[in-house]
Structure formats: structure tokens, C-alpha cells
């Protein structure tokens, strides 16, 4: 894989396909809705569920940003992020069920 | 091939937005688990595979990420729902039935 290290070179690709910017805005609105539920949620389980969905949406956003900026390394970042999110959510569920 | 991947990514983005809207709108923690998990799993799978179709050099790595999300997200959401039911969080007012009262180890 050839990495392109010129600053902001990847915006050319998003100017070729302006619908990618619309995708990113829609995903960002979804993350904001999840964060609102995470602040408002009545119980701790609501907050954990909202955090779970927000992390999965963020994984998709990272892959899409890696395509736009043409950086192959973003795929590794999203894979590690999804693994850490899975382990963290399982730990939160065990804590909610039995306590530490 | 570019247009095909763009259409698949667009369908996935719509599913991700609907999942987040379900998280925001639903009245109960169990409804939120259901709406959020189904929509976000399918949306994330379609978005990542669509990026892999648009950029064919990245296809296998994006497929690895998509299959990992497809396996891990229902497991973590099931653990959350089971933990909240065992803790005794009540259902919303419009719920009709609750079969888990008959099980062992579930409160109320």
C-alpha cells in the first residue's frame, strides 16, 4: 500500500464524490443522538446501550474517513477500537449484573 | 463498481441513522437494545463492505472488520439486556407480557 502523506490530499476524493460528505454528516447526527441519550438516560443500562451503539457507529465512521482521506492505517484503528469496545461492554454488563 | 459500492454504503448509512434514532426515541431499555442492535449491526456491515467494494485493494481487511462486528455486537447487546433484566429494571407501561418472571434467578 502506498501512503499519501500530503496534507489534506484526500479531500480531492470527497470533492469528486460529494455524496460522501452527506454520509458523514448523517452518521455524525446519529452519534449526536446517541450522546444525547447517554446524557439523559434514566438508568445505567440505558447509558451502556447508548455507548454500545455509539461505538459501533464510530467504527463505521472511521472506515469511511479512511476511505476519504486515503489512509490504510485507519482500518487498523477501527479494528482495535471495535475489539476494545466489545471487551469494555462485556465488562460493564458483568458489573451491572453482579457487581465487582 | 464505484456506483455499486456507493449505493451499498448509502443503504448502510441510512440503517445506522435509523438505529441511532431508535436509541433516542424508544421508551424502554429493552426496546432500545432491540432497535439499536439490529440496525447498527446491519448498517455497520453494509457500510464497511461498501467501502471495500469501492476500494478493491482493501476488500479482505474490511471483510475481517465487518465479520468481527457481525459476531461481537449481538453478543455484547445480549449481555447488556440479560444483565439489566437480572438486575430488575422494569418494562415500560405498554408491555403486554413478560415470560422471564417464570425463570430462575430473575427478580420480580
To the nearest whole Å, the CA of A17 is away from the closest chain B CA by 9
Give the integer Cα–Cα distance in Å for B69 and B35. Answer: 16
Do the Cβ atoms of A64 and B51 come closer than 8 Å?
Answer: yes
Q: Which DSSP symbol is given to B27?
A: S
- B29: closest chain A residue by CA: A46
Residues of B whose CB is below 8 A from A56? 40-41, 44, 69, 73
- Report chain A's mean pLDDT, rounded to a whole number: 85
Please name the residue that has the C-alpha cell 461481537.
B72
Domain count, chain B: 1
Domain spans, chain A: 18-98
Percent of chain A at pLDDT above 90? 51
**What is the reported pTM?**
0.87
Give the integer Cα–Cα distance in Å for A73 and A83. Answer: 16
Question: Is A53–B36 a contact, with Cβ atoms under 8 angstroms apart?
Answer: yes
Q: Is residue B92 less than 8 Å (CB to CB) from chain A?
A: no
Contacts (Cβ under 8 Å, ≥6 apart) of A62: A74, A77, A78, A81
At B32-76, the pLDDT tens digits run 999 889 999 999 999 999 999 988 888 999 999 999 999 999 999
Q: Copy the grid coordinates of residue A89.
A: 461492554
Domain assignment present for residue B68? The answer is yes
Do the Cβ atoms of B44 and B73 come closer than 8 Å?
Answer: yes
Domain assignment present for residue B19? The answer is yes
Contacts (Cβ under 8 Å, ≥6 apart) of B99: none
| Local confidence band at B100 (pLDDT 50, 70, 90 cut-offs) | confident
Give the integer Cα–Cα distance in Å for B21 and B28. Answer: 14
Q: What is the pLDDT of residue B97?
A: 82
Please name the residue that has the C-alpha cell 486515503.
A70
As a 3-state breakdown, chain B gives helix, strand, coil percent values, each rounded to 5, of: 80, 0, 20
Q: What is the CATH number of the domain that holds B56?
A: 1.10.287
| Local confidence band at A36 (pLDDT 50, 70, 90 cut-offs) | very high
At B77-86, the pLDDT tens digits run 999 988 888 8
At B12-39, the pLDDT tens digits run 999 999 999 999 998 888 999 998 899 9
Of B48, B84, B86, the CB nearest to A60: B48
Q: Is residue A13 less than 8 Å (CB to CB) from chain B?
A: no
Domain assignment present for residue B23? The answer is yes
Domain assignment present for residue B29? The answer is yes
Q: Is residue A14 less than 8 Å (CB to CB) from chain B?
A: no
- Provide the chain A residues 15-54 that lie in CB contact (below 8 A) with chain B: 17, 19, 23, 26-27, 29-31, 33-34, 36-37, 43, 45-46, 48-50, 52-54
**Is A87 a residue whose pLDDT tops 90?**
yes
Domain interval for residue B38: 2-102
CB-CB neighbours of A21 under 10 Å:
13
Domain assignment present for residue B108? The answer is no
| Local confidence band at A9 (pLDDT 50, 70, 90 cut-offs) | low
Q: What is the pLDDT of residue A26?
A: 92
Give the integer Cα–Cα distance in Å for A7 and A27. Answer: 24
Do the Cβ atoms of B36 and A53 come closer than 8 Å?
Answer: yes
Q: What is the pLDDT of residue B87?
A: 83
Question: Is B14–A78 a contact, with Cβ atoms under 8 angstroms apart?
Answer: no
Amino acid at each position: 500500500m502506498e501512503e499519501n502523506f500530503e496534507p489534506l490530499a484526500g479531500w480531492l476524493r470527497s470533492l469528486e464524490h460529494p455524496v460522501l460528505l452527506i454520509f458523514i454528516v448523517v452518521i455524525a447526527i446519529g452519534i449526536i443522538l446517541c450522546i444525547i441519550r447517554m446524557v439523559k438516560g434514566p438508568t445505567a443500562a440505558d447509558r451502556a446501550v447508548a455507548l454500545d451503539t455509539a461505538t459501533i457507529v464510530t467504527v463505521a465512521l472511521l472506515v469511511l474517513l479512511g476511505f476519504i482521506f486515503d489512509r490504510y492505517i485507519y482500518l487498523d484503528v477501527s479494528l482495535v477500537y471495535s475489539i476494545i469496545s466489545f471487551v469494555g461492554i462485556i465488562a460493564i454488563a458483568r458489573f451491572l449484573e453482579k457487581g465487582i | 463498481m464505484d456506483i455499486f459500492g456507493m449505493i451499498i454504503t448509502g443503504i448502510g448509512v441510512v440503517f445506522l441513522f435509523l438505529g441511532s434514532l431508535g436509541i433516542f426515541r424508544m421508551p424502554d431499555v429493552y426496546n432500545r437494545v432491540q432497535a439499536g442492535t439490529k440496525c447498527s449491526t446491519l448498517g455497520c456491515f453494509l457500510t464497511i463492505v461498501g467501502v471495500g467494494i469501492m476500494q478493491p485493494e482493501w476488500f479482505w481487511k474490511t471483510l475481517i472488520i465487518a465479520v468481527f462486528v457481525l459476531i461481537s455486537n449481538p453478543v455484547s447487546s445480549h449481555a447488556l439486556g440479560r444483565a439489566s433484566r437480572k438486575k430488575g429494571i422494569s418494562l415500560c407501561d405498554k408491555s403486554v407480557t413478560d415470560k422471564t418472571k417464570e425463570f430462575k434467578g430473575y427478580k420480580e
